[in-house]
Amino acid sequence: AYSRVLEMASTKRCALSLVEHTMLGIDHLTAGKRLAEHWHLPVQIRDAMWLHTQQTSTLPSDTDQSLVSVIALAESWSRDLHLGWCGDYGEPLDLYQLADTLGVGVDFFKNQANRIIDSVANRGEILGLGEHTEQNLLIESLTGANRSLAALNAELRTKAANSKSMLRLLDAIDVFYRDLSPDDRPEEVLRAMVSSASVLIGSERAAVIMQHDQNEPWQSMLVDQGQIVQRPTRVPAPEADGETARPSDLSESGFVASLDLSGLDWLRELFASVRDAGTPMLIGSHIDISDQDPSFLIIMPRMGSGSERIIATPDFERVRAIWTRSLVQSIAMQRMRRMGEELASANHTMATLRNELTSKEALVQLGRLAAGAAHEMNNPLSVILGRSQQLFERLGTERERETARKIAAAAQQLSDLISSLHLIADPPKPSMHPCDPVLLVREAIEIARQRCHTQGVRARVQFKAKGFYKPVNMDVTMLAQALAEPIINAVFAKPDALVTVSIEPDDEFGRLSIQINDQGPGFTENTMKNAFDPFFSELPSGRRSGLGLSRARGLIELHKGEIELGNAHEGRGARVIVHLPTTEAGSQAA
């Protein structure tokens, strides 16, 4: 066992007592002290056996330093001359500093060198340690010095190699952090890992497989020349012994051989993309990671020799730990960002629902008002309409007849207003059937022209339709009334100017979009905010009731559609877009 202690001290070139204490639990200095106490030797001898390797300035105050210092000086001198072997590879006490402390001049060692060698030879003979001539001792001294120099040279070469390896590892860490920013996504962290590994392996091309945690899908990506040349793509995870593997499992010896590679063409192609540049090397995260930890595998072509030795060193484990910690933090940051986005979306949805609830509550109140108004006012309005028509027929002068006509028109307008309120608050159930959207738009334009004509405004509407459009499930009469409202608004935005209506298919969302553009001043911010509120209108008082868009949105939503407001670019007027689902989208949703 003690030979292992000597071997370890020789390898590490350190003090023998340190290795003894680590491996045996006690060093030879403490053992000497205990033997001296056991044999009841004088205190001076005990302290000399125990403390002779320490600086005199560090000795306890109650220690007799004279004998300790002499023994320490003798050991330092013998080690300096390489006389004998002490078994200690630690740094000896400085001979000349110790001599100066004891008042011994430097010339003493030069003058007494030959005599000390002769004295050692005589003392060895007296102690029965063999016959040693002065010449033999000198040769042994030179041999010992050469042996020490050779050991030091070997140690320096080892340290130089270790330093070179450590420098490459430090360069790899430096490249990794230089390629990263605090907000980088996980794929950017993996790209930085490849750049870092290229310092050690020599290749800048790599395939990467990653999995954020056990429940997330596998993804693969390609990196070359410090850039992601193939973005992360989902790939099917292989199974081994009936269990889903983690990417780092692929780096385990023999694991790939146990996989069922049928259906894993992506894995073969991934290895092939790297094999073109050299024999693939596998660098994975730790095998013993938990299910919640990320797992990754970097596949790089081996360039040159020595790469596999570097990634097998304990120092490389520190580099891999840095990579893994950064990846864990990046994934956590990404999840936090997503949670923030989801929270913001939830807040937006909640605010929208709150506004819709408030609006519906207002419509309920409006419906009650409309129902009450209809009940209380229909009979008086009927009387007014009937009497005004009788007056119109009986009165003789044109002025009186015009007055009767205005009374009838006002009564009819009030009746229509009450009907509109009732329609908003309690819309009828549509009778749905597939219909050509072109026919819908044409009917809506005709309704708009008639209503504009009754108000003395000429409607110039151009309809642009190209090709065949998928049918829309709708109540044509009801939806045409709804679509006519924004067309009428567009006409009134700038009378006599051209209003364009067009249909655009939107197959990506399974719908078509009807777009209405005018050449007026466009929607103001106030209009965009309140356009769908009942009775809101920016036209002069009396021109429009302010119920058109509110009524239109209700009818469009009955058809599972949407209406959105906006302005054309460069202030070229307002734009209203009505989105309606096609029958194919409706059947898929069903």
| CA–CA distance, 576 with 487 (Å, rounded to integer) | 9
pLDDT value for 186: 92
Residue indicated by tokens 């002065």: 134
Terminal C-alpha separation, the chain: 81
Strands 218-224, 205-211: pairing is antiparallel
**What is the C-alpha to C-alpha distance for residues 158 and 170, in angstroms, rounded to an integer?**
18
CA angle, corner 412, sides to 410 and 413, nearest 5? Answer: 65
Instruction: For residue 582, give the DSSP letter.
Output: B
Tell me the C-alpha to C-alpha distance, in Å, between residue 432 and each of 333, 472, 475, 529, 581: 49, 9, 5, 31, 13
Q: Is 237 exposed, middle or buried (0-12, 13-18, 19+ CB in 10 A)?
A: middle
Q: What is the pLDDT of residue 318?
A: 86
Question: What pTM value is reported for the model?
Answer: 0.48
Q: Which two tokens stand for residue 330?
A: 């990046």
Q: What is the pLDDT of residue 74?
A: 86
Cβ(190)–Cβ(208) below 8 Å: yes
Phi/psi at 536 (nearest 5 deg)? -85, 130
Distance of CA 323 to the CA centre of its chain: 14
pLDDT tens digits, one per residue of 52-111: 888 878 888 777 788 888 888 888 888 887 776 777 777 788 888 888 888 888 888 878
In contact, 319 and 196? CB cutoff 8 Å: yes
**pLDDT for residue 527:** 79
Residue ranges of the alpha helices (H) in 395-436?
398-425
Q: 218, 209 in Cβ contact below 8 A?
A: yes
3-state class of 239 per DSSP?
strand
Is 3.40.50.300 the CATH number for 430-589? no
How far is 104 from 98, CA to CA, in rounded Å? 9
Indicate the Cα dihedral angle 172, 177, 180, 182, nearest 10°.
Answer: 150
Q: Which residue matches tokens 């008639």?
A: 450
d(CA 320, CA 286) in angstroms, rounded, equals 9
Helical segments of 238-313, H only: 265-275, 307-310
Say what the pLDDT of residue 249 is.
82
Distance CA 437, CA 457 (A): 26
- pLDDT tens, residue order, the chain (590 aa): 788 888 888 777 788 888 888 888 899 889 999 999 999 999 989 988 888 888 878 888 777 788 888 888 888 888 887 776 777 777 788 888 888 888 888 888 878 877 877 777 777 777 766 655 556 655 666 666 666 666 667 677 777 777 777 888 888 889 998 888 888 899 999 999 999 988 888 888 899 999 998 889 999 999 998 899 989 999 988 876 667 778 888 887 656 656 666 667 888 888 888 877 778 888 888 766 788 889 999 988 877 666 677 777 788 888 888 998 999 999 999 989 999 999 998 998 898 888 778 776 766 676 676 666 666 777 787 788 788 888 877 777 888 888 888 888 787 777 777 776 666 666 778 889 999 999 999 999 999 999 898 888 899 999 998 878 899 999 999 999 999 989 998 999 898 899 999 999 988 888 999 999 999 888 888 877 777 776 667 665 545 555 678 788 888 988 899 999 989 876 679 999 999 998 865 444 44
Dig out the tokens for 211 from the structure. Answer: 């999995």
**CA quadruple 299, 304, 306, 312: dihedral, nearest 10:** 0
pLDDT for residue 440: 94
Whole-number Å distance between alpha carbons of 329 and 331 = 5
* Distances 281 to 198, 240, 268, 300, 303 between C-alpha atoms, Å: 12, 21, 15, 5, 10
DSSP state of 305: S
Helix-then-strand count for the chain, H and E: 19, 14
Domain boundaries, given as residue ranges, for the chain: 2-154, 182-312, 338-426, 430-589
Query: Residue 45: CB partners within 8 Å, gap ≥ 6?
Result: 36, 67
Q: What is the model's pLDDT at position 66?
A: 84
Distance CA 489, CA 451 (A): 11
Q: How far apart are alpha carbons 553 and 490 in whole angstroms?
A: 16
